[in-house]
């Protein structure tokens, strides 16, 4: 049973990916992708029923992985070298990092740790299962969304030969690699899947083969390979220090912390690069040039979540160290900086990208705080962020195909043109920052957890206040309408586009309703296993509230208020049916009601248009104002982290 599940979760996407590559027929490929997605979703739910497990594969598998790793790294080096003319610095650095990795892996596998057996090969606790669920459900929905999207996308690009087979190869394969990554216990296996995600992201970001796409893909691969080198070095030092390659072994802290800290810091560094934390944020922003399903996948369920997964996974191992404090500060810094950067952006996808990095920073800050409460906060954030962010990316993709722009300013009055997408987008945005939605519960948990570390708490408070700015105004704009009576539009979008949107929106809401069950079933046991010492500070669920030692969040009054608001709104909107619909006040005479937008009456009875836009405050929150300084601060913080780790504090 278990081996079948693992086979489906990890190997099936690989096989299906190559089938997609072979299939030239669009509908056949669509059928394969949909089928695989459905199978993955069902399997992940079955795995949830299965519960925690450990599973060992024989030694010949280890050898196979070693050789595949060489092949993979060589292929990465080749790909980077092949594209060197686009950006030589990124390309050559990627090549150097890849070759360095090969040398290190060779030395490690054949000299240092030859023939080492790690038991078990795979293991799953609630965190792994949560990740598998996110990857398999959210990721699969994104793949389904990709089918009609890519058809449209290539139609826009006027491609003669379709390049979708290759696209879906990497898209589906990505899911398999991620499932492998979160289930692996053998760190060498984890590293192998880690490098596969690097390759997949390179291929997907550069998919459009435009110059900018290739440059950004090279940027991504060079930064991620740097992380990969750090990871490999971490594994080597870990092995020479503690003589172990088993994750379970490390996080159950069977070793003296001083032996583990340096390798852990290197692995955390790898996690930071993958999670695009400042100063590595530029690769994820560059990744925005890729087709929307790629951005959605990279941002919600895969890639960046791999980095966060690693840091959260290792968190118990470096609890109560200075390294942990530095991780918390780094996460908090990223949270504030990227939230502020998001304020200055009018490009919808960039806002989402910065917000992703910010939330990852928050998760990492939670991992760094390293208490049961913070751990719970981190997992809350991982779950709810994946769902909401995937939803938002798919919405922006749909909007972009609908109105031909991803600029927030062009989305005024979207509810008149694309009512369904606009409403779903607003749901997605509200779930990102308002109670009673899970992201906010996560943020609340994080803040109360951070009360032990005031500096991180301050960063969280500032970041969270800034977050509100860009969500509120974007959500507000989407619902702005002209006062003239509009014809009710029924949106004409493909079934395979609509389904993922609706399912994700429903998930985003349902998960909040069952948040206590989620907590009791998945999160609380984890904290109990990994933080045995701090047993009295567990968050409890009682009387419809999350209760911890410092505070409590009672959710039912908020849900009750939401229901009251909905009922009242239905009543009031119904009563307002006959009320007068007026044009906005325009400082005197108002434009006729049948005008599309309000205008000023001016000299000689002429009409004068006006334009309005959000405040983007570019002199305060602009990229060019903030990026350099914040990069320097973060680099210093990372150096401090390494120094702290080297001193074994």
Partner 1 sequence: MGLINNSRAKSPWVVHFDCGSCNGCDIEVLACLTPLYDIERFGILNIGNPKHADVLLVTGTVNPRNERVLRNVYEQIPEPKVVVAIGACACTGGVFADCYNVIQGVDKIIPVDVYVPGCAARPEAIIDGVVLGLQKFQEKVEKMNKKAVGN
Partner 2 sequence: MVVLAIVLGPIIGGLLTGIDRKITARLQGRFGPPIMQPFYDVFKLLGKEKFINNKVQIVYVITYLFFAMLSFVLFVLGQDLIAIIFVLTVGGGAMVMGALSVRSPYSQIGSQREILQMLAYDPLLIITAVAMFMVTGSFKVAEIVNYQIHNNTPLLYVLPLVFIVLIEVLSIKMRKSPFDISAGQHAHQEIVRGVHTEFSGPYLALIEVAHWYELMLALGFVAIFFASNWYIAATLVIVMYLLEIILDNTTARLTWKWMLKSAWGFGIVLCAVNIIALYFI
Binding residues for partner 1, rule: CB under 8 A, are 578, 580, 582, 585, 588-590, 601
For residue 577, the minimal CB distance to partner 1 (Å) is: 12
How near is the Cβ of 580 to partner 1 at its closest, in Å? Answer: 7
DSSP state of 520: I
Judged by beta carbon, residue 373 or residue 583, the one nearer partner 1 is: 583
Q: CB-based burial of residue 46 (10 Å sphere; 0-12 exposed, 13-18 middle, 19+ buried)?
A: middle
Looking at 252-321, list the stretches that DSSP marks H as alpha helix, in order from N- to C-terminal side.
Answer: 257-274, 281-286, 292-296, 304-314
In angstroms and rounded to an integer, the radius of gyration of the C-alpha atoms of the chain is 25
Residue from 222, 508, 553, 634 binding partner 2 (CB under 8 A)? 553
d(CA 23, CA 29): 6
The H or E element spanning position 553 is: strand 552-554
Closer CB to partner 2, residue 570 or residue 639?
A: 570
557 scored as a contact of partner 2 (CB under 8 A): yes
Nearest CA among 590, 614, 611 for reference residue 600 = 590
Positive or negative, the CA dihedral 252, 258, 262, 263 is: negative
Candidate list 221, 266, 477, 641; residue touching partner 2; CB under 8 A: 477
Q: Which residues pair with 589 in a beta bridge?
A: none
Span interacting with partner 2, options 1-9, 26-34, 174-182, 544-552, rule CB under 8 A = 544-552
Residue with tokens 């059928």: 31
In the list partner 2, partner 1, none, the entry touching 473 (Cβ below 5 to 8 angstroms by class) is partner 2
Q: Does 583 bind partner 2 (CB under 8 A)?
A: yes
Query: Nearer Cβ to partner 2, position 147 or 591?
Result: 591
Nearest distance from residue 562's CB to partner 2, in Å? Answer: 9
Q: Is 495 in the site for partner 2 (CB under 8 A)?
A: no
In the complex, minimum distance from the CB of residue 426 to partner 2, in angstroms, rounded to a whole number: 9
Among 103, 468, 510, 608, binds partner 2 (CB under 8 A): 468
Q: Name all contacts of 43-46 with Cβ < 8 Å and 24+ positions apart.
A: 43/5, 43/8, 43/9, 43/136, 44/9, 44/132, 44/133, 44/135, 44/136, 44/137, 45/133, 46/5
Q: Which is nearer to partner 1, 592 or 596 (CB)?
A: 592
Smallest distance from partner 2 to CB 573, Å: 5
Q: Which of 103, 521, 564, 608 binds partner 2 (CB under 8 A)?
A: 564
50 φ/ψ angles, rounded to the nearest 5 degrees: -65, -35
Tokens 């991982």 sit at which residue?
A: 382
Select the binding partner of residue 469 from partner 1, partner 2, none (C-beta < 5 to 8 A, by kind): partner 2
Which of partner 2, partner 1, none has residue 462 at its interface (CB below 5 to 8 Å by kind)?
Answer: partner 2
Query: Of residues 576, 635, 636, 639, which one binds partner 2 by CB under 8 A?
Result: 576
Distance CA 360, CA 338 (A): 10
Residues in the chain: 649
Task: From the list partner 2, partner 1, none, pick the one residue 588 interacts with, judged by a Cβ distance below 5 to 8 Å according to partner type.
Answer: partner 1
Span of 3-11, 154-162, 412-420, 623-631 interacting with partner 2 by CB under 8 A = 412-420
Residue 161 or 572: the one with the smaller Cβ distance to partner 2 is 572
When asked if residue 42 is in the footprint of partner 2 (CB under 8 A), the reply is no
φ and ψ of 160, to 5 deg: -85, -45
**Cα-Cα end-to-end distance for the chain:** 44
Q: How far is the CB of 461 from partner 2 (least distance, A)?
A: 5
Q: Per CB under 8 A, which of residues 330..369 are in contact with partner 2?
A: none
Q: For residues 381 and 363, is the Cβ–Cβ distance under 8 A? A: yes
Binding residue (CB under 8 A) for partner 2 from 28, 42, 465, 514: 465
Task: Calculate the dihedral angle through the C-alpha atoms of 541, 547, 552, 558, rounding to the nearest 10 degrees.
Answer: 0
Tokens of 519: 């907590």
Judged by DSSP in three states, 347 sits in strand
Contact partner, 615, from partner 2, partner 1, none, Cβ < 5-8 Å per class = partner 2
Return the range that interacts with partner 2 (CB under 8 A); candidates 39-47, 158-166, 261-269, 558-566: 558-566
Distances (CA, A) of 559 to 191, 481, 566: 43, 28, 11
- Answer with the entry of partner 1, partner 2, none that 501 interacts with (C-beta below 5 to 8 A by kind): none
Which runs of E-coded beta strand occur in 56-183? 122-124
> Is residue 629 close enough to count as binding partner 2 by CB under 8 A?
no
Nearer to partner 2 by Cβ, of 525 and 551: the residue is 551
258 binds partner 2 (CB under 8 A): no
DSSP collapsed to 3 states, 150-204: HHHHHHHHCCCCCCHHHHHHHHHHHHHHHHHHHHECEHHHHHHHHHHHHHHHHHH
Of 83-91, 214-222, 497-505, 580-588, the window that binds partner 2 (rule: CB under 8 A) is: 580-588
Check if the beta carbon of residue 272 is closer than 8 Å to that of residue 363. Answer: no
Rounded Cα distance, 76 and 99, in Å: 9
CB burial readout 12-42, b (16+ within 10 A) else e: bbbebbebbbebeeeeebbebbbebbebbbe
Shortest Å, Cβ 443 to partner 2 = 8
Taking CB under 8 A as the binding criterion, the range among 235-243, 389-397, 445-453, 627-635 that sits at the site for partner 2 is 445-453
Residue 83 CB, nearest distance to partner 2 (Å)? Answer: 42
Residue 188 as a binder of partner 2 (CB under 8 A): the answer is no
Smallest distance from partner 1 to CB 585, Å:
5
Burial of 323 (0-12, 13-18, 19+ CB in 10 A): buried
- The one among 272, 334, 448, 522 contacting partner 2 by CB under 8 A: 448
Between 56 and 554, name the residue whose CB sits nearer to partner 2. 554
Q: Which residues bind partner 2 (CB under 8 A)?
A: 412-413, 415, 433-435, 440, 444, 447-448, 451, 454, 457-458, 461-462, 464-466, 468-469, 472-473, 475-477, 479-483, 550-554, 557-558, 561, 564-565, 568-569, 572-573, 576, 579-587, 597-598, 610, 612, 614-615
């Amino acid at each position: 049973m278990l081996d079948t599940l693992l086979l489906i979760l990890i190997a099936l996407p690989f096989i299906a990916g190559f089938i997609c590559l072979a299939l030239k027929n669009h509908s056949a490929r669509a059928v394969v992708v949909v089928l695989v997605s459905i199978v993955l979703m069902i399997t992940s739910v079955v795995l949830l029923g299965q519960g925690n497990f450990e599973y060992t594969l024989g030694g010949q598998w280890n050898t196979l992985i070693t050789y595949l790793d060489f092949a993979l790294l060589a292929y990465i080096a080749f790909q980077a070298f092949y594209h060197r003319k686009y950006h030589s610095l990124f390309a050559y650095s990627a090549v150097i990092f890849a070759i360095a990795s090969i040398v290190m892996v060779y030395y490690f596998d054949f000299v240092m740790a030859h023939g080492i057996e790690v038991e078990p090969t795979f293991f799953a606790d609630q965190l792994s299962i949560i990740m598998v669920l996110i990857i398999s459900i959210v990721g699969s929905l994104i793949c389904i969304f990709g089918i009609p999207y890519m058809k449209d996308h290539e139609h826009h690009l006027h491609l003669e030969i379709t390049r979708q087979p290759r696209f879906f190869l990497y898209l589906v394969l990505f899911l398999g690699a991620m499932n492998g990554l979160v289930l692996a216990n053998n760190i060498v296996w984890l590293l192998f899947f880690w490098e596969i995600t690097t390759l997949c992201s390179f291929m997907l970001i550069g998919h459009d083969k435009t110059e900018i796409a290739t440059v950004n893909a090279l940027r991504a691969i060079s930064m991620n390979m740097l992380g990969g080198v750090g990871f490999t070095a971490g594994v080597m030092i870990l092995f020479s220090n503690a003589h172990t390659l088993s994750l379970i072994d490390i996080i159950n802290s069977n070793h003296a912390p001083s032996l583990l800290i340096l390798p852990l810091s290197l692995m955390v560094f790898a996690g930071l690069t993958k999670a695009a934390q400042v100063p590595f944020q530029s690769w994820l922003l560059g990744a925005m040039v890729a087709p929307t399903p790629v951005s959605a996948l990279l941002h919600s369920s895969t890639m960046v979540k791999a980095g966060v997964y690693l840091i959260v996974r290792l968190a118990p191992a470096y609890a109560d160290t200075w390294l942990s404090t530095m991780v918390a500060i780094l996460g908090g810094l990223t949270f504030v900086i990227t939230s502020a950067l998001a304020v200055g952006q009018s490009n919808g996808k960039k806002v989402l990208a910065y917000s992703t990095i910010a939330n990852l920073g928050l998760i990492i800050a939670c991992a760094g705080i390293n208490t049961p409460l913070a751990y719970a906060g981190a997992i809350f954030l991982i779950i709810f962020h994946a769902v909401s962010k995937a939803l938002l990316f798919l919405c922006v993709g749909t909007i972009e195909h609908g109105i031909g722009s991803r600029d927030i300013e062009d989305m005024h009055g979207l509810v008149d043109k694309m009512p369904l997408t606009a409403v779903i987008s607003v749901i997605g945005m509200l779930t990102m920052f308002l109670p009673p939605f899970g992201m906010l519960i996560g943020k609340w948990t994080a803040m109360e957890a951070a009360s032990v570390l005031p500096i991180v708490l301050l960063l969280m408070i500032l970041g969270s206040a800034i977050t509100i700015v860009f969500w509120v105004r974007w959500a507000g704009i989407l619902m702005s309408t002209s006062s003239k009576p509009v014809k009710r539009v029924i949106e004409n979008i493909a079934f395979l586009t609509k389904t993922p949107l609706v399912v994700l929106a429903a998930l985003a809401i349902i998960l909040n309703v069952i948040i206590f069950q989620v907590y009791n079933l998945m999160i609380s046991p984890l904290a109990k296993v990994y933080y045995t010492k701090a047993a009295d500070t567990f968050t409890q669920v009682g009387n419809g509230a999350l209760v911890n030692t410092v505070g409590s969040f009672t959710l039912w009054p908020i849900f009750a208020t939401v229901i009251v608001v909905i009922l009242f709104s239905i009543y009031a909107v119904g009563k307002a049916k006959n009320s007068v619909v007026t044009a906005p006040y325009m400082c005197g005479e108002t434009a006729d009601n049948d005008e599309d937008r309000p205008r000023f009456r001016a000299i000689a009875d002429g009409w004068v248009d006006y334009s309005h836009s959000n405040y983007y405050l570019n002199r305060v929150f602009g990229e060019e104002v903030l990026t350099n300084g914040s990069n320097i601060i973060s680099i210093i913080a990372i150096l401090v982290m390494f120094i702290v780790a080297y001193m074994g504090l």
